[in-house]
Chain A
Amino acid sequence: MTTLTAKDKQTVKAFWAKVSGKSEDIGADAVARMLVVYPQTKIYFSHWPDQSPNSPAARKHGITVMMGVGDAVTKMDDLKEGLKELSQLHAFTLRVDPGNFKILSHNILVVMAVMFPTDFTPDVHVSLDKFLAAVSLALSEKYR
């Protein structure tokens, strides 16, 4: 399910080129939604003094996440290798249950629909969904 075809890669790159200018807003909104719609995800942020979805910490985290996604776009020909260090971080330091990658991916897709309703066509949706699944898999690589 996660092998990206040439068409997927092309589609994701083209869509990313259109939307990456808003990557900070996308990330901030995706993380905010995740915290509201899936409140169990808040457990990973118990160290934040302010866990509300629009807090500066939440926004900053959204920006960080989206920078990672943008980086993954440039490494999509070998995500396992390209995201090796990020995987180590998530596996050994952050220890985020990989089920949550799917949750955040879903919220990224919702934000794309909200912000880019015309550009986020079904063809873009399927390629981006596959890409995010591939990123999630690469992030899970070092877990066990």
Chain B
Amino acid sequence: MSTTKAKLKKPTLKVTPSSRVMNVSTSGVLRVNHSSTYARSINASVSRKSFSLAADSKILDKSSVQTPKHTVQVFDENGKDVTPQPLYQPDPAAVMSKHSKIFASDTSGGTMSDFYSTAYQTTTNASFAGPFTRSVFGSSTVSRGSQSTMESMNEEIEDPSSKRDVSISLSDVQVRREEVKELIKEEMLDEVVDRYLIESETLWLLHMPAVSVSVDSEEAESVKERNNLYMELCKNRMGNDKYVERSMQTFNGAPKTKEVQCEAITMVDAATTATTWDMYDSFRSAGLGEAALSPDTDKASGPEIVSNHRLDPTRAPERTMSVISTTSIASASSSRIEMEPFVVPSEDEPDPELIMQSEKFQQDLFVMERVILENIYQPKLAAYRQLPTLEDPDIVPKVVPTVVSRREESSLDEESTLTPALERLWSFSCELTSGHNVSSMAWNKRNPDLLAVGYGQFDFKDQKSGLICCWSLKNPTWPERVFTCESGVTTLDFSASNASQLAVGMHDGSIATYNVESREKTPVIDSSDCAHKHTSPVWQVRWIDHERGASGEDKGETLISVSADGRISKWFLRKGLDCIGPVLPQSLKVVGNLSITLTSPCSQGPLYRITWSPFCSDVFLSCSSDWTIQLWRQDLFTPVLGFTSTQSAVYDVMWSPKWATVFGAVNEGRVEIWDLGASILDPTIVSLASPGVKLTSLLFATETDCILVGDSDGQVSVYQLKNLTVGEGTQVDALDDIIGSTLASQL
């Protein structure tokens, strides 16, 4: 009984997942059921012949009162009773009438499965475990499968969750019989049902039969025999006909070394920097390439190299237009080159001559020259422009007296730096002009850095061909424009309205206008066709601005000329110069030179110059070859003041544009600056000319304190007035005072 109890305890063991066997059995309960049933069926089939329905009398007595139950008995080959005992023993004390009813109907066939189903659905009691367990333990020779089946049955009984499943599976396997379940009655619900968990059968997944067999096992004999047989066989193998040794040979291909050589793989490093301008250029050329092919192709012809970024002002009127056109030219040419890769564009390769001829190169040369000269003349120009001159830190000052200038002497008094003096800055000269006499100079009205100098003789003898040079302050070594004339130039004037128009009066009486902007060497208009042209040297030409446009006049400005033949002519600039006959000048203010010889008996020789004061509208100066400079007032027929300093003809006189009391005069050997406020007897500054050179003309610079002196050798020297303290303001009152006092004193 203790064993039965132990056995019973076993079924009451909880199913734990740690046990592998248990796991296998519980996880696949259905499967297990199936396998168990399968095993059972196998066992049943094995021992089918001894299959007999045998009812356990005890159980049946308890469970079913009404119907006799057939007991099932299974016998294996040896005749042993291997009837699987029911795993469950219902409690005999408990009244299981109802349950038995269920099973009574089921067990009409009396199969094993019925028995098991009864066992499952009824509670068991320990007392009933006896006969079952005895048979369980008794059947030691039961194959493992059945035993495990029983165990698994036990386990299945224990598993409460799979109860229904088990029953269902059993009922499923049940092929022969149909189970009729009794209706669950209410009394059954109130019953206390005990559940027992048992271990399920072991599921074999892999079975590797052992190589060796235990000596004690039943197979040992057969195994031993088989071993012996084999050993016999091995012994007999030698020399036995049945076993012949045979060798085989396979062909192995002989290995052959093969060498392969390839050209050295040259590695080339390629790098590029994506700069902003690179991307900009690519974008532009890609965008404009196709669009600009058709237009501007005519522009691309010719040997000129058009660069992308250099604008040509003479070609396109608008700045933006030219940019687009130049870029499109470049892109067009580049895209054309891309389209014809096989055509070698011979004309696109810039050969040296092409470079030299290109406009850009000329422009660059021009700029370069200016830059070089700026380096040379920078201190002088700075002084001219009244900028502070900076010392070049790299230049080591030489201990050489630099005072002595090559041609001119500076002021008389060199020790004291406070006396007014003329400081020579530079001179405009080149070999073209050497030998020519400077006759007139004029500033451009719009560009104060542009100077026109006319070269021509005053005298009748030694008439050379005239020369006009347009100088720029930025290049004192070479004129910007050079015009040659047939006869000597006597007078020049720039037009105010059209700043590039230069009127020239010549010694032979002809008048011409030049356009200094273009590089044309010929005058725009010439007066040689005019019938009324002057026959004697033109002393003065002047552009006069008319505020009110009289009828019949096209331009606001007219050209007026005065010549030695006594005529003052007004010229019209149509296809040729045409003049109206002698015109009495209404406004004399601008007309420089009048033939006042008729009205001024005081001057003995020819007047060389008359110049109005820019401040006092009725005061003018005259200079003549009688060594005198005379100050006139318009309403007086006699000069107010006369200035004499040396016994040489005064060639030129000019009022200072800055001070009313200052004027400059040039005679043969000297430049004199007179300051009437300081002294009316002596010039304030005197500067001597170099020997052999006569000073012939004078011009004040408009915005700076500089004067230009032209001489007979073709040089135009620029001097700076230093330390000339005149006083504040324009000194107009001072001039009036002087004149007034002089007049008063004369009376």
Judge: A and B partners, yes or no: no
